[in-house]
């Protein structure tokens, strides 16, 4: 494959999938990471893409939200470790809330041996992960279904949420910054995040390191009350510093 053709495909992947890492691109195109970095430098210079730590995001304002299937392909090992750590915070007898998403699905996967338990979720994927597990009561909060996230949002979801208070709440998001808070593709999603955070005694935001400091969309919300940012070991000190400066508790989950 010629270099120009490879760069065109890199730009297409970035716009289709959102975040893409140097390692993922090098493996996909079967070239060295240094070759990918040179490609990215040229694409950034042409304002086709923007660099982020370790990879690339599209520069276009019409950034497309990734599907659940696309998200599942990114950072799988890190999400598993974050999910396992989160599940270890749960005790038998707890009532917990799981957001829709791939990382919260990993939390559910690692909860299969923790019971009795009540698990309330807005997402089909976490819900199905716990199918058939004895002594785990599953509650799915319905509403308007989003195909992209395989989750429910909207007034019906919010109304159902008002009937609950949780020992622990586990959230995901498209991005997070210390100054603006949580970023999502729509206001209806950020509103639900805010309400979910209000409904828990302890709130955890589970985020792959690539999402920290990014601003892919225009809808933002600050999470109310104290909350804990949980991320993976690829995170850099300068990514964490703004959160720590604001007194946000940070947990970095190490490699196995």
- 243 lies in the same domain as 218: yes
> Does residue 62 sit within a domain?
no
Clarify whether residues 101 and 163 are in a common domain: yes
Same domain, 33 and 84: no
The verdict on 50 and 81 lying in the same domain is no
Encode burial over 121-156: b for 16+ CB neighbours within 10 A, e otherwise. bbbbbbbebbeebeebebebbebeebeebbbbbbee
pLDDT of residue 76: 66
Same domain? 117 vs 232: yes
pTM: 0.72
Residue 48 has what pLDDT? 60
Angle at 101 (CA atoms; ends 185, 222), nearest 5 degrees: 50
Q: Are 24 and 80 found together in one domain?
A: no
- What average pLDDT does the segment 11-25 reach? 68
As given in the structure block, the two tokens for residue 109 are: 């996967």
Residues 88 and 138 occupy one common structural domain: yes
The tens digit of pLDDT for each residue in 73-91 reads 455 688 999 999 999 999 9
Statement to judge: residues 37 and 86 lie in one domain:
no
* Strand order through the sheet with 136-140: 136-140, 117-121, 95-98, 166-171, 200-206, 228-232, 249-253
Helix (H) or strand (E) holding 97: strand 95-98
pLDDT in the model for residue 219: 81
Work out the angle between the directed axes of helices 3-17 and 22-29 (0-180°, nearest 10). 130
144 and 156 in contact (C-beta within 8 Å)?
yes
Residue for token pair 């989160």: 86
CATH of the domain at 80: 3.40.50.1360
pLDDT-derived band at 43 (thresholds 50, 70, 90) equals confident
CATH code for the domain in which residue 10 is found: 1.10.10.10
Output the pLDDT for position 51. 56
User: Does residue 49 sit in the same domain as residue 145?
Assistant: no
Domain co-membership, 12 together with 110: no
Residue range 159-168: mean pLDDT, rounded: 96
CA distance 245 to 72: 31
Q: How many structural domains are present in the chain?
A: 2
Pairing of strands 181-184, 166-171: unpaired
Q: Which domain holds residue 39?
A: 3-57
């Amino acid at each position: 494959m010629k270099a120009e053709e490879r760069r065109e495909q890199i730009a297409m992947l970035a716009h289709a999938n959102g975040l893409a890492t140097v390692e993922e691109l090098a493996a996909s195109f079967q070239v060295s990471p240094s070759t990918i970095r040179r490609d990215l430098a040229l694409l950034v210079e042409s304002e086709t893409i923007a660099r982020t730590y370790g990879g690339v995001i599209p520069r276009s304002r019409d950034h497309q939200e990734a599907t659940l299937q696309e998200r599942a392909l990114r950072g799988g090992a890190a999400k598993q470790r974050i999910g396992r750590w989160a599940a270890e915070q749960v005790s038998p007898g707890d009532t917990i809330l799981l957001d829709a998403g791939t990382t919260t699905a990993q939390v559910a996967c690692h909860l299969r041996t923790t019971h009795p338990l009540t698990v309330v979720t807005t997402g089909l994927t976490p819900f199905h992960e716990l199918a058939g597990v004895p002594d785990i009561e599953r509650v799915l909060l319905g509403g308007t279904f989003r195909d992209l996230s395989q989750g429910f949002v909207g007034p019906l979801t919010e109304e159902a949420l008002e009937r609950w208070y949780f020992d622990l709440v586990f959230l995901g998001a498209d991005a997070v910054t210390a100054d603006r808070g949580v970023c999502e593709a729509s206001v209806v999603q950020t509103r639900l995040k805010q309400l979910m955070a209000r409904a828990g005694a302890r709130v955890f935001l589970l985020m792959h390191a690539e999402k920290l400091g990014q601003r892919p969309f225009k809808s933002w919300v600050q999470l109310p009350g104290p909350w804990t940012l949980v991320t993976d070991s690829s995170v850099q000190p300068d990514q964490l510093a703004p959160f720590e400066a604001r007194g946000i508790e940070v947990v970095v989950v190490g490699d196995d």
